[in-house]
Structure 1
């Protein structure tokens, strides 16, 4: 017989039973360790699959973001006005063909005017000086180079400046810019009223110029044929550092609102042109189409 820890002898069957119980406990512990190991392996496999899926998702999102940027950039370049194709009106002159000339090519002096058809001060300028400017043109003393801007659209919203300028360029295509230009300023809406943003209004006003309201003119207005040209002209105005519209220069010298210390008025305009033309021949004048 064997002794227990207290010195008492333990029968053999109890010893065997004790050994058997210890073996069983060892087996259970081994099974538990094996189960835990398998569980850890399963967890690791799940994490690996999760990482693979997550990486794939991130890759797809990154690709989608790149595609989105490409699509956004491509989309921003679509459309007629962004295509880079600028259609200048017939007979446009000057740098980049951004001026519409009225008057003799060989006139001794040039009056350059930057205007916006929605600008109320431009209308005041035109209504005060219209007859004088036409008289100086018709006698070959000056030619006028008109440049069109769209600053009121930018300041107040709407599209009347752009739409009216495009319509005026369409009138230039058939040699009726000057007459239609005067009609627009004589019928200018209030600055806050974007009536010129309606092509139908511009076509209606063309009826005041003999022979202008044609299918060709209407198509040019409605299609915005010269929109890109007008926008390029406005960019030139902004880059030119001018203070506002109207801007008027005689032979490159600013004369509005004054020339030196003398204010611009009808008498001074005539005087300044006469001084500039002293000893020079007037230009050869070709009569321009007039309004009805």
Structure 2
């Protein structure tokens, strides 16, 4: 073989090898995306175990028991306090027990929030958010409590959903108690138009709803839940699975459609707050 042909052959071989490596890298990137997308449920299920540990260790932690129980505007639930969202006459109800410091809760919200908002807007679904303080008890600090109180203050201002989503979109690492600082919570309120007001700041700094958050956390502790997030559709657990099906945006839509068959969508205006 001539030197020229040999060089051409080697170059061609190198090019084929490079192309093969690029294809392998592309497949690996795609595989990772699929794993992240499809594996969220598995991660959430594993993280729920952390919630169990937190639930067992949050015996003497600061769960907001001190002080009067001052419910935020429009709160419901009695002994199981909750903040409702969506049309109150929607035929199906999604109960979500969450902790603002919980990484699995943030992952759940990242994957599912758009679908929940869509179903709420259509009148098919209303949600009830129950706020827990498990991570404070497990990791120390007060970020779960402080963030939950701030979210209740946002409910008073009629901005709960936007602020709730903002907190999860800006959640610090689980071991970082950044949400334990009221200044940080007020800083994040600036991302929600119209929320950063003197009344909101005062509510956050005074811990106005600490007692109510503590009552909600007690309801979680007494509820027999495995961890956060705990998600129920019309009283039936759907996290991480409903029967043999894993939770996903597509499955949530299907489950709600099945539950609502023959029922009219809700049309009433959301509750005050």
Displacement after TM superposition at 1:288 (Å): 9.4
Matching of residues 13-32 of structure 1 within 5 Å: none
Q: 2:66 aligns with which of 66, 79, 82?
A: 82
- With over 3 angstroms needed to count, the CA separation of the structure-2 counterparts of 1:288 and 1:123, relative to structure 1, is farther
Q: 2:83 aligns with which of 100, 119, 131?
A: 100
Question: Could you state the TM-score of these two structures normalised by the residue count of structure 2?
Answer: 0.74
Which has the larger Rg?
Answer: 1
Matching of residues 208-287 of structure 1 within 5 Å: 208-284=191-267, 286=269
1:150 aligns with 2:133: yes
Question: Could you state the TM-score of these two structures normalised by the residue count of structure 1?
Answer: 0.70
Alignment deviations for residues 145-170 of structure 1 (CA, whole Å, 9 cap, x no partner)? 00000000000000000000000000
Gaps of 5+ in 2: 1-63
Distance in structure 1 (CA, Å) of the matches to 2:65 and 2:237: 32
Displacement after TM superposition at 1:96 (Å): 3.2
Distance in structure 1 (CA, Å) of the matches to 2:87 and 2:238: 21
Alignment deviations for residues 160-197 of structure 1 (CA, whole Å, 9 cap, x no partner)? 00000000000000111000000000000000000000
Displacement after TM superposition at 1:94 (Å): 1.6
Alignment deviations for residues 36-57 of structure 1 (CA, whole Å, 9 cap, x no partner)? xxxxxxxxxxxxxxxxxxxxxx
Equivalent residues of 1:138, 1:287 under 8 A apart: no
Gaps of 5+ in 1: 1-79
How many matched pairs? 209
What residue number does 1:21 align with? Answer: none
Displacement after TM superposition at 1:266 (Å): 1.0
Displacement after TM superposition at 1:253 (Å): 0.1
1:185 aligns with 2:162: no
| Local SS of the residue matching 1:113 | strand
- With over 3 angstroms needed to count, the CA separation of the structure-2 counterparts of 1:93 and 1:255, relative to structure 1, is same
| Local SS of the residue matching 2:79 | helix
Q: Which structure exhibits the higher relative contact order, with contacts defined as CA atoms closer than 8 Å and separated by 6 or more residues?
A: 2
The two structures, once aligned, show a CA RMSD in angstroms of 1.6
Distance in structure 2 (CA, Å) of the matches to 1:196 and 1:122: 15
Distance in structure 2 (CA, Å) of the matches to 1:204 and 1:262: 40
What residue number does 2:94 align with? Answer: 111
Distance in structure 1 (CA, Å) of the matches to 2:194 and 2:271: 13
Displacement after TM superposition at 1:97 (Å): 6.4
